Amino acid sequence: MRLDRVDVIEQASFDWRRTTGRDADVWGNVARIVEEVRLGGDGALRRLTRALDGVDAPLRVPQEAMEAAFRALRAEVREALARAAERIRRFHEAQLPDDIVIRGEDGETLEMLWRPLHRVGVYAPGGRAAYPSTVLMDVIPAQVAGVRSIALVSPPGPDGLPHPAVLAAAHLVGVEEMYAVGGAQAVAALAYGTETIARVDKIVGPGNVYVATAKRMVMGDVGIDSIAGPTEVVVVADETANPAYVAADLLAQAEHDVEAGAVCLSPSRALLERVHAEIVRQLAALPRVDIARAALERHGALVCVKSLQDAVDLVNDMAPEHVEVMTEDPRRVLDGLRTAGAVFLGPYTPEPVGDYFAGTNHVLPTHGSARFSSGLGTLDFMRRMTAATYTAETLARHARYIEVLAEAESLTAHRDAVRIRREELR
Ligand SMILES: NC(=O)c1ccc[n+]([C@@H]2O[C@H](COP(=O)([O-])OP(=O)(O)OC[C@H]3O[C@@H](n4cnc5c(N)ncnc54)[C@H](O)[C@@H]3O)[C@@H](O)[C@H]2O)c1
Ligand SMILES: N[C@H](CO)Cc1c[nH]c[nH+]1
Ligand SMILES: [Zn+2]
């Protein structure tokens, strides 16, 4: 989007395909970092932290540092974090699944049992800004799921420790294991383990393009939640929307990262022109003006669509992280939406309510990955396991079919494992 003159484009000339980390520079850089940590352990981690974060810091964050940061936190921030934590916990407790138990007519019992993961690594970003809210979003669902071992990582600041607000949030939710390491190197350490950091079963949490690319790279050796990279929002608005609200919400994502995306789709050119004017007006007052401007110039767009139905089709094709709907009848638009990380409906539900306080999770798939994955939730920290119990009678009834199928696959040892029992039962 150009900011030096009104810039509204037609639907036909809009192309917003974004990929995380596929560009050769980022991929190659991250591959080198991951390999260095896999082979070099703690030594490599400290070297990379010196090079990329400019500090030489002990990896393990002392418990006292978290506690001290919590005590030093302004009372109003402490209260807001605590209230947010309660709301996040409540919404994630409601997601706990029930086991399924089926007793079959032949006497068998079939179960699908949910079990918490044993050990997870969670990432809280801390490069351009600190994200204490992400500590809550990452850790609380893991606790609700029943995960026993949680390792939190976040990049160190100039004093060698993660940002004080991140430390304080970690104390608030009872984190017992934290490391001052960030970027791709933190992801590699969690995936493969080092002398200090024991490897985990799954890595969750958002981060910049290096973090997201590293997660993509280690996936398979370890589980990941989703590709939660630089943030993005698409606002679907009609002529009833308030242009100042729309502009404010686009800027709220743009200020995160120069790679953030902010798009408004509307059938009303007049609204889009007013949104442009509002963006220019509000942008000037932002402390993070340079980041927001760069993000809008690279990945911002005001798109005039033929109809709201076309806007819905475009959103489903883009599969963005956040969708805001500011139309006369937002629920009608919601009915048509299939692929989005999280949806915010109506003029009084700006996306930051979800970032901080509503209770829904703000760790969400980006760069089109909402086509196949969802935002972070309690189930991401659990896995399913099936269990089957046969009685002698069940086996006697089913044996004939199993033996026939085993023979059809020429797997006679399979057949005999059933036959040996069946013959005894005769
Ligand atoms: N999708 C989501 O759910 C979600 C939620 C919250 C935040 N976010 C995103 O998280 C990101 C936070 O980014 P951030 O940068 O502030 O913090 P970050 O913690 O993600 O990344 C900082 C780290 O990146 C590494 N790094 C920086 N430059 C590098 C380079 N040239 N090569 C290799 N490594 C390098 C450094 O090690 C540094 O510690 C933003 O993009 C924000 O939009 C996304
Ligand atoms: N909008 C970001 C991605 O969902 C999350 C966040 C944290 N703090 C502020 N915003
Ligand atoms: Zn945000």
Number of domains in the chain: 3
* pLDDT at position 57: 86
- On whether residue 414 sits in a domain, the answer given is yes
How many helices (H) and strands (E) would you count in the chain? Answer: 15, 14
- Kindly state whether residues 141 and 265 are assigned to the same domain: no
Name every residue whose Cβ is closer than 8 Å to that of residue 219 and which is 6 or more positions away in sequence: none
d(CA 327, CA 279): 19
Name every residue whose Cβ is closer than 8 Å to that of residue 75 and which is 6 or more positions away in sequence: none
- Report which secondary-structure segment, H or E, holds 385: strand 382-389
pLDDT at 426 over 80: no
The answer to whether residues 85 and 173 touch, using CB atoms and an 8 Å cutoff, is yes
- Kindly state whether residues 290 and 203 are assigned to the same domain: no
- Kindly state whether residues 124 and 237 are assigned to the same domain: no
- Kindly state whether residues 294 and 399 are assigned to the same domain: no
- Distance between Cα 352 and ligand 2 center (Å): 7
How is residue 268 annotated by DSSP?
-
What number of residues does the chain have?
426
- Distance between Cα 367 and ligand 3 center (Å): 16
- Tell me whether residue 321 is one of the annotated catalytic residues: yes
Angle at 360 between CA 356 and CA 362, to 5 degrees: 60
User: Does 92 count as an annotated binding residue?
Assistant: no
- Kindly state whether residues 152 and 208 are assigned to the same domain: yes
How is residue 237 annotated by DSSP?
E
- Kindly state whether residues 155 and 35 are assigned to the same domain: yes
Instruction: Give burial (CB, 10 Å; 0-12/13-18/19+) of 360.
Output: buried
- Of the three residues 209, 226, 243, the one that is the final residue of a domain is 226
3-state DSSP assignment of residue 412: helix
Domain hosting residue 338, numbered range: 9-19+230-358
Return the percentage of the chain with pLDDT > 90, whole number: 95
* pLDDT at position 419: 97
- Kindly state whether residues 121 and 166 are assigned to the same domain: yes
Chain segment 261-292, per-residue pLDDT in tens = 999 999 999 999 999 999 999 999 999 999 99
* pLDDT at position 425: 85
pLDDT at 23 over 80: no
**Which residue has its alpha carbon closest to ligand 2 atom 7?**
355
Name every residue whose Cβ is closer than 8 Å to that of residue 286 and which is 6 or more positions away in sequence: 251, 255, 292
- On whether residue 51 sits in a domain, the answer given is yes
User: Does 185 count as an annotated binding residue?
Assistant: yes
The model's confidence at residue 15, banded by pLDDT at 50, 70 and 90, is confident
Q: What would the mean pLDDT of 314-321 be, rounded to a whole number?
A: 96
- On whether residue 377 sits in a domain, the answer given is no
The model's confidence at residue 127, banded by pLDDT at 50, 70 and 90, is confident
pLDDT at 19 over 90: no
Chain segment 128-163, per-residue pLDDT in tens = 789 999 999 999 999 999 999 999 999 999 999 999
Query: Which of 17-21, 134-138, 422-426 has the highest average model confidence (pLDDT)?
Result: 134-138
Which ligand has the nearest atom to the CA of 186? Answer: 1
pLDDT at 21 over 60: no
- Distance between Cα 82 and ligand 3 center (Å): 19
